[in-house]
Amino acid sequence: MPRVTLADLRREFPPMLRLAFPLVVAEVGWMTMGVLDTLMVGRLPDSAVAMGAIGIGNISFFAFAICGVGMLFGIDPMVSQAFGGKRIADCHRTLWSAVLLCFPLAAIVMAIVYAMPWVLSALGTNPQVLPPTTAYLRAILWGALPVLLYHSFRAYLQAMNQVKVIMFALITANVVNAAGNWLLIYGHWGFPAWGVKGSAVSTVVALVYLALCMMLYAMWHDRRERHGLFAEIATVHGREIRELLRLGGPAAGQILGEIGVWGTSTLLVGKLDAVSLAGHQVAVNVASLLFMVPLGIGQAGSVRVGQALGAGHGDRAATSGWAALAIGAIFASFSALALVFFGGPIARIYTPDRAVRQLAARLLIPCACFEVFDALQVTSAGVLRGAGNTRTAMTAHLIVYWLFGLPLGYALCFRAGWGAMGIWIGLSSSIVIIGCILAWAWNQKQRTFAAVAPRMQRI
Protein backbone atom coordinates (compact mmCIF):
# COMPACT_ATOMS: atom_id res chain seq x y z
CA MET A 1 0.00 0.00 0.00
CA PRO A 2 1.15 3.60 -0.57
CA ARG A 3 2.96 4.99 2.46
CA VAL A 4 1.74 8.51 3.26
CA THR A 5 3.96 10.56 5.59
CA LEU A 6 3.41 13.88 7.34
CA ALA A 7 5.85 15.45 4.89
CA ASP A 8 3.69 14.19 2.01
CA LEU A 9 0.60 15.72 3.60
CA ARG A 10 2.32 19.06 4.16
CA ARG A 11 3.28 19.17 0.48
CA GLU A 12 -0.26 18.26 -0.56
CA PHE A 13 -2.06 20.78 1.66
CA PRO A 14 -1.21 23.91 -0.42
CA PRO A 15 -2.43 22.61 -3.83
CA MET A 16 -5.44 20.98 -2.17
CA LEU A 17 -6.38 24.23 -0.43
CA ARG A 18 -5.88 26.25 -3.64
CA LEU A 19 -8.34 23.99 -5.41
CA ALA A 20 -10.68 23.61 -2.44
CA PHE A 21 -11.04 27.27 -1.46
CA PRO A 22 -13.04 28.41 -4.53
CA LEU A 23 -15.14 25.25 -4.33
CA VAL A 24 -15.84 25.83 -0.64
CA VAL A 25 -16.84 29.44 -1.34
CA ALA A 26 -19.06 28.18 -4.16
CA GLU A 27 -20.74 25.60 -1.94
CA VAL A 28 -21.23 28.13 0.84
CA GLY A 29 -22.61 30.50 -1.78
CA TRP A 30 -25.01 27.79 -2.95
CA MET A 31 -26.25 27.26 0.59
CA THR A 32 -26.38 31.00 1.24
CA MET A 33 -29.12 31.33 -1.35
CA GLY A 34 -31.35 29.14 0.80
CA VAL A 35 -30.29 30.97 3.96
CA LEU A 36 -31.14 34.32 2.34
CA ASP A 37 -34.55 32.99 1.35
CA THR A 38 -35.21 31.87 4.92
CA LEU A 39 -33.99 35.14 6.43
CA MET A 40 -36.01 37.30 4.07
CA VAL A 41 -39.31 35.44 4.39
CA GLY A 42 -38.66 35.36 8.15
CA ARG A 43 -39.46 39.08 8.12
CA LEU A 44 -42.96 38.51 6.74
CA PRO A 45 -45.88 39.00 9.17
CA ASP A 46 -46.41 35.29 9.91
CA SER A 47 -42.73 34.34 9.96
CA ALA A 48 -43.10 30.83 11.43
CA VAL A 49 -45.51 29.75 8.66
CA ALA A 50 -43.40 31.39 5.92
CA MET A 51 -40.17 29.82 7.19
CA GLY A 52 -41.84 26.44 7.48
CA ALA A 53 -43.13 26.70 3.90
CA ILE A 54 -39.67 27.62 2.62
CA GLY A 55 -38.17 24.71 4.54
CA ILE A 56 -40.57 22.10 3.19
CA GLY A 57 -40.56 23.61 -0.31
CA ASN A 58 -36.77 23.76 -0.48
CA ILE A 59 -36.25 20.21 0.69
CA SER A 60 -39.04 18.89 -1.54
CA PHE A 61 -37.51 20.47 -4.64
CA PHE A 62 -33.81 20.11 -3.97
CA ALA A 63 -34.07 16.54 -2.66
CA PHE A 64 -35.16 15.43 -6.13
CA ALA A 65 -33.17 18.02 -8.11
CA ILE A 66 -29.93 17.09 -6.37
CA CYS A 67 -30.82 13.42 -6.78
CA GLY A 68 -30.90 14.17 -10.52
CA VAL A 69 -27.55 15.90 -10.13
CA GLY A 70 -26.29 12.72 -8.47
CA MET A 71 -26.93 10.86 -11.73
CA LEU A 72 -24.29 13.17 -13.21
CA PHE A 73 -21.69 12.63 -10.47
CA GLY A 74 -19.76 10.35 -12.80
CA ILE A 75 -18.52 13.51 -14.50
CA ASP A 76 -16.07 14.07 -11.64
CA PRO A 77 -14.00 10.87 -11.90
CA MET A 78 -14.42 10.51 -15.67
CA VAL A 79 -13.22 14.01 -16.55
CA SER A 80 -10.56 14.26 -13.81
CA GLN A 81 -9.00 10.91 -14.74
CA ALA A 82 -9.15 11.74 -18.45
CA PHE A 83 -7.63 15.17 -17.79
CA GLY A 84 -4.90 13.63 -15.62
CA GLY A 85 -4.13 11.24 -18.48
CA LYS A 86 -4.18 14.14 -21.02
CA ARG A 87 -7.17 12.67 -22.90
CA ILE A 88 -8.94 15.98 -23.57
CA ALA A 89 -11.34 14.57 -26.19
CA ASP A 90 -12.63 12.15 -23.55
CA CYS A 91 -13.35 15.14 -21.27
CA HIS A 92 -15.46 16.71 -24.00
CA ARG A 93 -17.36 13.53 -24.76
CA THR A 94 -18.21 13.14 -21.09
CA LEU A 95 -19.52 16.70 -20.90
CA TRP A 96 -21.82 16.42 -23.91
CA SER A 97 -23.07 13.04 -22.74
CA ALA A 98 -23.99 14.62 -19.42
CA VAL A 99 -25.76 17.53 -21.14
CA LEU A 100 -27.81 15.03 -23.14
CA LEU A 101 -28.85 13.30 -19.91
CA CYS A 102 -29.95 16.60 -18.33
CA PHE A 103 -33.15 16.86 -20.38
CA PRO A 104 -34.87 13.58 -19.44
CA LEU A 105 -33.66 13.97 -15.85
CA ALA A 106 -35.15 17.48 -15.66
CA ALA A 107 -38.50 16.23 -16.97
CA ILE A 108 -38.61 13.55 -14.26
CA VAL A 109 -37.71 16.01 -11.51
CA MET A 110 -40.35 18.52 -12.64
CA ALA A 111 -43.08 15.86 -12.71
CA ILE A 112 -42.24 14.69 -9.19
CA VAL A 113 -42.09 18.22 -7.77
CA TYR A 114 -45.40 19.11 -9.42
CA ALA A 115 -47.04 16.19 -7.60
CA MET A 116 -45.45 16.96 -4.21
CA PRO A 117 -48.30 19.14 -2.82
CA TRP A 118 -50.65 16.13 -2.96
CA VAL A 119 -48.02 13.99 -1.26
CA LEU A 120 -47.52 16.59 1.46
CA SER A 121 -51.26 16.82 2.04
CA ALA A 122 -51.56 13.02 2.32
CA LEU A 123 -48.70 13.00 4.84
CA GLY A 124 -50.60 15.40 7.08
CA THR A 125 -48.42 18.49 6.69
CA ASN A 126 -49.58 21.41 8.84
CA PRO A 127 -52.58 22.98 6.97
CA GLN A 128 -51.30 26.50 7.65
CA VAL A 129 -48.03 25.73 5.88
CA LEU A 130 -49.39 23.76 2.91
CA PRO A 131 -50.83 26.61 0.70
CA PRO A 132 -47.64 28.74 0.59
CA THR A 133 -45.57 25.56 0.14
CA THR A 134 -47.69 24.62 -2.89
CA ALA A 135 -47.21 28.07 -4.43
CA TYR A 136 -43.46 27.78 -3.85
CA LEU A 137 -43.21 24.35 -5.50
CA ARG A 138 -45.28 25.34 -8.54
CA ALA A 139 -42.77 28.14 -9.24
CA ILE A 140 -39.44 26.55 -8.36
CA LEU A 141 -39.92 23.39 -10.43
CA TRP A 142 -38.81 25.43 -13.47
CA GLY A 143 -35.33 25.49 -11.97
CA ALA A 144 -34.78 21.76 -12.57
CA LEU A 145 -33.07 22.01 -15.98
CA PRO A 146 -30.86 25.00 -15.01
CA VAL A 147 -29.65 23.12 -11.90
CA LEU A 148 -28.66 20.07 -13.95
CA LEU A 149 -26.93 22.09 -16.68
CA TYR A 150 -25.10 24.17 -14.09
CA HIS A 151 -23.76 21.06 -12.40
CA SER A 152 -22.70 19.41 -15.67
CA PHE A 153 -20.58 22.34 -16.79
CA ARG A 154 -19.36 23.04 -13.28
CA ALA A 155 -18.14 19.45 -12.74
CA TYR A 156 -16.42 19.53 -16.15
CA LEU A 157 -14.63 22.79 -15.33
CA GLN A 158 -13.54 21.89 -11.80
CA ALA A 159 -12.16 18.54 -12.97
CA MET A 160 -9.92 20.57 -15.31
CA ASN A 161 -8.84 22.91 -12.46
CA GLN A 162 -11.03 25.81 -13.61
CA VAL A 163 -12.58 26.70 -10.26
CA LYS A 164 -12.37 30.47 -9.80
CA VAL A 165 -15.26 31.05 -12.20
CA ILE A 166 -17.43 28.76 -10.05
CA MET A 167 -16.73 30.91 -6.99
CA PHE A 168 -17.48 34.09 -8.96
CA ALA A 169 -20.73 32.67 -10.32
CA LEU A 170 -22.07 31.67 -6.89
CA ILE A 171 -21.15 34.97 -5.26
CA THR A 172 -22.86 37.00 -7.97
CA ALA A 173 -25.83 34.58 -8.06
CA ASN A 174 -26.47 35.46 -4.42
CA VAL A 175 -26.69 39.11 -5.42
CA VAL A 176 -29.18 38.19 -8.15
CA ASN A 177 -31.22 36.10 -5.70
CA ALA A 178 -31.19 38.73 -2.95
CA ALA A 179 -32.32 41.45 -5.36
CA GLY A 180 -35.07 39.22 -6.71
CA ASN A 181 -36.22 38.40 -3.18
CA TRP A 182 -36.34 42.08 -2.25
CA LEU A 183 -38.46 42.84 -5.29
CA LEU A 184 -40.77 39.82 -5.34
CA ILE A 185 -41.22 38.88 -1.68
CA TYR A 186 -42.10 42.38 -0.48
CA GLY A 187 -43.29 43.98 -3.74
CA HIS A 188 -40.83 46.87 -4.01
CA TRP A 189 -40.58 49.14 -7.10
CA GLY A 190 -44.05 48.16 -8.29
CA PHE A 191 -43.35 44.41 -8.45
CA PRO A 192 -46.01 42.04 -7.06
CA ALA A 193 -45.65 41.14 -3.38
CA TRP A 194 -45.70 37.37 -3.82
CA GLY A 195 -44.22 36.44 -0.45
CA VAL A 196 -43.00 32.84 -0.41
CA LYS A 197 -43.77 32.38 -4.12
CA GLY A 198 -41.60 35.41 -4.92
CA SER A 199 -38.66 33.71 -3.24
CA ALA A 200 -39.11 30.69 -5.53
CA VAL A 201 -39.24 32.82 -8.69
CA SER A 202 -36.10 34.66 -7.61
CA THR A 203 -34.30 31.35 -7.03
CA VAL A 204 -35.20 30.15 -10.54
CA VAL A 205 -33.77 33.35 -12.05
CA ALA A 206 -30.54 32.83 -10.07
CA LEU A 207 -30.29 29.19 -11.25
CA VAL A 208 -30.65 30.25 -14.90
CA TYR A 209 -27.92 32.81 -14.31
CA LEU A 210 -25.62 30.13 -12.85
CA ALA A 211 -26.13 27.78 -15.78
CA LEU A 212 -25.38 30.54 -18.28
CA CYS A 213 -22.21 31.53 -16.40
CA MET A 214 -20.84 27.98 -16.52
CA MET A 215 -21.72 27.41 -20.19
CA LEU A 216 -20.30 30.71 -21.40
CA TYR A 217 -17.07 30.27 -19.44
CA ALA A 218 -16.62 26.70 -20.74
CA MET A 219 -16.91 28.00 -24.30
CA TRP A 220 -14.51 30.89 -23.60
CA HIS A 221 -11.98 28.56 -21.97
CA ASP A 222 -12.16 26.17 -24.91
CA ARG A 223 -11.63 28.98 -27.39
CA ARG A 224 -8.59 30.17 -25.44
CA GLU A 225 -7.04 26.69 -25.14
CA ARG A 226 -8.12 25.52 -28.64
CA HIS A 227 -9.23 22.15 -27.28
CA GLY A 228 -12.08 21.62 -29.75
CA LEU A 229 -14.97 21.41 -27.29
CA PHE A 230 -17.63 21.31 -30.02
CA ALA A 231 -15.86 18.66 -32.11
CA GLU A 232 -17.56 15.92 -30.07
CA ILE A 233 -21.05 17.42 -29.79
CA ALA A 234 -22.63 15.82 -32.87
CA THR A 235 -21.69 12.21 -32.17
CA VAL A 236 -23.55 9.69 -30.01
CA HIS A 237 -21.59 8.90 -26.86
CA GLY A 238 -23.07 5.57 -25.80
CA ARG A 239 -20.07 4.40 -23.79
CA GLU A 240 -19.83 7.65 -21.84
CA ILE A 241 -23.57 7.67 -21.10
CA ARG A 242 -23.41 4.11 -19.81
CA GLU A 243 -20.42 5.00 -17.63
CA LEU A 244 -22.20 8.08 -16.28
CA LEU A 245 -25.20 5.98 -15.37
CA ARG A 246 -23.03 3.27 -13.82
CA LEU A 247 -21.26 5.76 -11.57
CA GLY A 248 -24.16 8.17 -11.18
CA GLY A 249 -26.79 5.64 -10.14
CA PRO A 250 -25.14 4.82 -6.79
CA ALA A 251 -24.26 8.50 -6.27
CA ALA A 252 -27.91 9.41 -6.78
CA GLY A 253 -28.84 6.67 -4.34
CA GLN A 254 -26.48 8.16 -1.76
CA ILE A 255 -27.99 11.61 -2.23
CA LEU A 256 -31.50 10.19 -2.05
CA GLY A 257 -30.55 8.43 1.16
CA GLU A 258 -28.98 11.52 2.72
CA ILE A 259 -31.16 14.39 1.52
CA GLY A 260 -34.24 12.19 1.46
CA VAL A 261 -33.92 11.29 5.13
CA TRP A 262 -33.53 14.95 6.09
CA GLY A 263 -36.50 15.80 3.89
CA THR A 264 -38.51 13.11 5.62
CA SER A 265 -37.43 14.49 8.97
CA THR A 266 -38.73 17.91 7.94
CA LEU A 267 -42.05 16.36 6.93
CA LEU A 268 -42.25 14.55 10.28
CA VAL A 269 -41.51 17.72 12.23
CA GLY A 270 -44.11 19.42 10.00
CA LYS A 271 -46.70 17.23 11.72
CA LEU A 272 -45.89 19.10 14.94
CA ASP A 273 -46.56 22.81 15.50
CA ALA A 274 -45.28 25.69 13.36
CA VAL A 275 -42.66 26.70 15.98
CA SER A 276 -41.11 23.22 15.92
CA LEU A 277 -40.96 23.29 12.12
CA ALA A 278 -39.41 26.77 12.04
CA GLY A 279 -36.82 25.89 14.72
CA HIS A 280 -35.96 22.69 12.87
CA GLN A 281 -35.56 24.68 9.64
CA VAL A 282 -33.15 27.13 11.29
CA ALA A 283 -31.02 24.25 12.63
CA VAL A 284 -31.06 22.49 9.23
CA ASN A 285 -29.94 25.74 7.57
CA VAL A 286 -27.02 26.16 9.95
CA ALA A 287 -25.95 22.50 9.70
CA SER A 288 -26.24 22.58 5.91
CA LEU A 289 -24.20 25.77 5.68
CA LEU A 290 -21.38 24.22 7.73
CA PHE A 291 -21.66 21.02 5.67
CA MET A 292 -20.81 22.99 2.51
CA VAL A 293 -17.20 23.48 3.62
CA PRO A 294 -16.20 19.79 3.88
CA LEU A 295 -18.35 19.15 0.80
CA GLY A 296 -16.15 21.56 -1.19
CA ILE A 297 -13.04 19.96 0.29
CA GLY A 298 -14.35 16.54 -0.70
CA GLN A 299 -14.91 17.75 -4.27
CA ALA A 300 -11.37 19.05 -4.42
CA GLY A 301 -10.18 15.71 -3.06
CA SER A 302 -12.17 13.90 -5.74
CA VAL A 303 -10.50 15.96 -8.46
CA ARG A 304 -6.98 15.53 -7.04
CA VAL A 305 -7.41 11.77 -6.54
CA GLY A 306 -8.91 11.32 -10.02
CA GLN A 307 -6.19 13.34 -11.75
CA ALA A 308 -3.45 11.44 -9.91
CA LEU A 309 -4.94 8.07 -10.86
CA GLY A 310 -5.41 9.22 -14.45
CA ALA A 311 -1.71 10.11 -14.58
CA GLY A 312 -0.83 6.74 -12.98
CA HIS A 313 0.42 8.05 -9.62
CA GLY A 314 -1.18 5.87 -6.95
CA ASP A 315 0.95 7.26 -4.13
CA ARG A 316 -0.07 10.83 -4.96
CA ALA A 317 -3.74 9.79 -5.08
CA ALA A 318 -3.49 8.30 -1.59
CA THR A 319 -1.85 11.45 -0.24
CA SER A 320 -4.53 13.66 -1.78
CA GLY A 321 -7.28 11.61 -0.19
CA TRP A 322 -5.81 11.71 3.30
CA ALA A 323 -5.13 15.43 2.98
CA ALA A 324 -8.81 16.06 2.14
CA LEU A 325 -9.97 14.06 5.16
CA ALA A 326 -7.56 15.87 7.47
CA ILE A 327 -8.55 19.36 6.29
CA GLY A 328 -12.25 18.53 6.60
CA ALA A 329 -11.86 17.18 10.13
CA ILE A 330 -9.87 20.22 11.28
CA PHE A 331 -12.53 22.62 10.04
CA ALA A 332 -15.33 20.55 11.59
CA SER A 333 -13.64 20.62 15.00
CA PHE A 334 -13.74 24.42 15.06
CA SER A 335 -17.32 24.60 13.73
CA ALA A 336 -18.49 22.20 16.46
CA LEU A 337 -17.05 24.49 19.13
CA ALA A 338 -18.76 27.48 17.52
CA LEU A 339 -22.14 25.76 17.65
CA VAL A 340 -21.71 24.88 21.33
CA PHE A 341 -20.73 28.40 22.44
CA PHE A 342 -22.67 30.57 19.97
CA GLY A 343 -25.84 28.59 19.22
CA GLY A 344 -28.14 31.25 20.68
CA PRO A 345 -26.68 34.24 18.78
CA ILE A 346 -26.67 32.19 15.56
CA ALA A 347 -30.37 31.39 15.95
CA ARG A 348 -31.10 35.06 16.69
CA ILE A 349 -29.84 35.98 13.20
CA TYR A 350 -32.68 34.02 11.60
CA THR A 351 -35.79 35.21 13.38
CA PRO A 352 -37.05 37.60 16.09
CA ASP A 353 -39.44 34.87 17.33
CA ARG A 354 -38.15 33.91 20.80
CA ALA A 355 -39.70 30.43 20.88
CA VAL A 356 -38.19 29.55 17.49
CA ARG A 357 -34.76 30.86 18.57
CA GLN A 358 -34.74 28.83 21.78
CA LEU A 359 -35.66 25.59 20.04
CA ALA A 360 -33.14 26.15 17.24
CA ALA A 361 -30.33 26.76 19.75
CA ARG A 362 -31.12 23.48 21.51
CA LEU A 363 -31.14 21.57 18.20
CA LEU A 364 -27.66 22.88 17.38
CA ILE A 365 -26.19 20.83 20.26
CA PRO A 366 -26.60 17.42 18.58
CA CYS A 367 -25.45 19.12 15.40
CA ALA A 368 -22.18 20.04 17.12
CA CYS A 369 -21.74 16.43 18.24
CA PHE A 370 -21.76 15.04 14.69
CA GLU A 371 -19.73 17.77 12.94
CA VAL A 372 -16.40 15.89 12.73
CA PHE A 373 -18.08 12.66 11.61
CA ASP A 374 -20.13 14.55 9.01
CA ALA A 375 -16.91 16.01 7.61
CA LEU A 376 -15.33 12.54 7.51
CA GLN A 377 -18.26 11.02 5.65
CA VAL A 378 -18.53 13.72 2.97
CA THR A 379 -14.78 14.00 2.31
CA SER A 380 -14.44 10.20 2.26
CA ALA A 381 -17.32 9.95 -0.21
CA GLY A 382 -15.60 12.57 -2.39
CA VAL A 383 -12.21 10.88 -2.54
CA LEU A 384 -13.81 7.47 -3.07
CA ARG A 385 -15.73 8.97 -6.00
CA GLY A 386 -12.47 10.26 -7.47
CA ALA A 387 -11.25 6.66 -7.40
CA GLY A 388 -14.40 5.48 -9.19
CA ASN A 389 -16.18 4.06 -6.11
CA THR A 390 -19.69 5.43 -5.60
CA ARG A 391 -21.39 2.29 -4.26
CA THR A 392 -19.95 2.22 -0.75
CA ALA A 393 -21.31 5.65 0.18
CA MET A 394 -24.74 4.77 -1.21
CA THR A 395 -24.91 1.53 0.77
CA ALA A 396 -23.84 3.17 4.02
CA HIS A 397 -26.28 6.05 3.73
CA LEU A 398 -29.29 3.98 2.76
CA ILE A 399 -28.80 1.29 5.41
CA VAL A 400 -27.72 3.40 8.37
CA TYR A 401 -30.01 6.39 7.83
CA TRP A 402 -33.17 4.53 6.90
CA LEU A 403 -32.91 1.35 8.96
CA PHE A 404 -31.41 2.87 12.09
CA GLY A 405 -31.39 6.67 12.32
CA LEU A 406 -34.86 7.57 11.07
CA PRO A 407 -36.71 4.84 13.02
CA LEU A 408 -34.82 5.87 16.17
CA GLY A 409 -35.63 9.54 15.57
CA TYR A 410 -39.30 8.75 14.94
CA ALA A 411 -39.53 6.73 18.15
CA LEU A 412 -37.88 9.46 20.21
CA CYS A 413 -39.97 12.20 18.59
CA PHE A 414 -43.46 10.69 18.74
CA ARG A 415 -43.27 7.73 21.13
CA ALA A 416 -41.00 9.22 23.77
CA GLY A 417 -42.43 12.71 23.27
CA TRP A 418 -39.09 14.43 22.66
CA GLY A 419 -40.38 16.34 19.62
CA ALA A 420 -37.89 17.71 17.09
CA MET A 421 -34.97 16.92 19.41
CA GLY A 422 -35.74 13.22 19.08
CA ILE A 423 -35.44 13.41 15.28
CA TRP A 424 -32.08 15.16 15.58
CA ILE A 425 -30.66 12.64 18.04
CA GLY A 426 -31.62 9.75 15.76
CA LEU A 427 -30.06 11.29 12.66
CA SER A 428 -26.98 12.49 14.55
CA SER A 429 -26.29 8.92 15.65
CA SER A 430 -26.48 7.82 12.02
CA ILE A 431 -23.93 10.39 10.90
CA VAL A 432 -21.41 9.18 13.49
CA ILE A 433 -21.72 5.61 12.20
CA ILE A 434 -21.58 6.60 8.49
CA GLY A 435 -18.50 8.76 9.05
CA CYS A 436 -16.63 5.84 10.60
CA ILE A 437 -17.70 3.42 7.84
CA LEU A 438 -16.64 5.66 4.96
CA ALA A 439 -13.30 6.64 6.52
CA TRP A 440 -12.57 2.92 6.91
CA ALA A 441 -13.67 2.30 3.29
CA TRP A 442 -11.24 4.96 2.03
CA ASN A 443 -8.42 3.40 4.04
CA GLN A 444 -9.13 0.06 2.37
CA LYS A 445 -9.43 1.58 -1.12
CA GLN A 446 -6.17 3.52 -1.00
CA ARG A 447 -4.34 0.29 -0.18
CA THR A 448 -5.00 -0.80 -3.78
CA PHE A 449 -3.25 2.26 -5.26
CA ALA A 450 0.18 0.63 -4.92
CA ALA A 451 -0.69 -1.38 -8.06
CA VAL A 452 -1.35 1.79 -10.12
CA ALA A 453 1.60 2.27 -12.47
CA PRO A 454 2.45 5.51 -14.33
CA ARG A 455 0.09 4.99 -17.23
CA MET A 456 -3.24 6.29 -18.51
CA GLN A 457 -5.80 4.79 -16.16
CA ARG A 458 -9.40 4.06 -17.13
CA ILE A 459 -12.14 3.86 -14.53
Predicted local distance difference test score (pLDDT) of residue 371: 93
Per the domain annotation, does 159 fall within a domain?
yes
Predicted local distance difference test score (pLDDT) of residue 329: 95
297, 328 in Cβ contact below 8 A?
A: yes
232, 79 in Cβ contact below 8 A?
A: no
SS3 letters across the chain: CCCCCHHHHHHHHHHHHHHHHHHHHHHHHHHHHHHHHHHHHCCCCCHHHHHHHHHHHHHHHHHHHHHHHHCCCCHHHHHHHHHHCCCHHHHHHHHHHHHHHHHHHHHHHHHHHHHHHHHHHHCCCCCCCHHHHHHHHHHHHHHHHHHHHHHHHHHHHHHCCCCHHHHHHHHHHHHHHHHHHHHHCCCHHHCCCCCHHHHHHHHHHHHHHHHHHHHHHHHHHHHHHCCCHHHHCCCCCHHHHHHHHHHHHHHHHHHHHHHHHHHHHHHHHCCCCHHHHHHHHHHHHHHHHHHHHHHHHHHHHHHHHHHHHHCCCHHHHHHHHHHHHHHHHHHHHHHHHHHHHHHHHHHHHHCCCHHHHHHHHHHHHHHHHHHHHHHHHHHHHHHHHHCCCCHHHHHHHHHHHHHHHHHHHHHHHHHCCCCHHHHHHHHHHHHHHHHHHHHHHHHHHHHHHHHCCCCCCCC
Per the domain annotation, does 23 fall within a domain?
yes
Residues in the chain: 459
Predicted local distance difference test score (pLDDT) of residue 53: 82
Predicted local distance difference test score (pLDDT) of residue 452: 58
Q: Would the pLDDT of 4 be above 80?
A: no
Predicted local distance difference test score (pLDDT) of residue 370: 92
Per the domain annotation, does 458 fall within a domain?
no
Per the domain annotation, does 325 fall within a domain?
yes
pLDDT in tens, 73-100: 889 899 999 998 888 888 899 999 999 9
Q: Would the pLDDT of 55 be above 90?
A: no
318, 54 in Cβ contact below 8 A?
A: no
Q: Which residue would you say has higher pLDDT here, 127 or 6?
A: 6
Q: Is 269 exposed, middle or buried (0-12, 13-18, 19+ CB in 10 A)?
A: buried
pLDDT in tens, 160-179: 999 999 999 999 999 999 99
Give dist(CA 339, CA 173) in Å, integer.
27
457 band by pLDDT with thresholds 50, 70 and 90 = very low
305 Rama sector, left if φ>0, alpha if ψ -120 to 50, beta otherwise: alpha
Predicted local distance difference test score (pLDDT) of residue 2: 64
User: Among 20-29, 99-108, 279-288, whose mean pLDDT is lowest?
Assistant: 279-288
Q: Would the pLDDT of 35 be above 80?
A: no
271 Rama sector, left if φ>0, alpha if ψ -120 to 50, beta otherwise: alpha
Q: What is the mean pLDDT of residues 27-38?
A: 81
Q: Look over the chain and give the mean of its residue pLDDT values, rounded to a whole number.
A: 88
Q: Would the pLDDT of 12 be above 50?
A: yes
* Domain ranges, residue 87: 6-451
pLDDT in tens, 307-347: 999 888 888 999 999 999 999 999 999 999 999 898 889 88
For the chain, the domain total comes to 1
157, 26 in Cβ contact below 8 A?
A: no
Per the domain annotation, does 457 fall within a domain?
no
Q: Would the pLDDT of 456 be above 60?
A: no
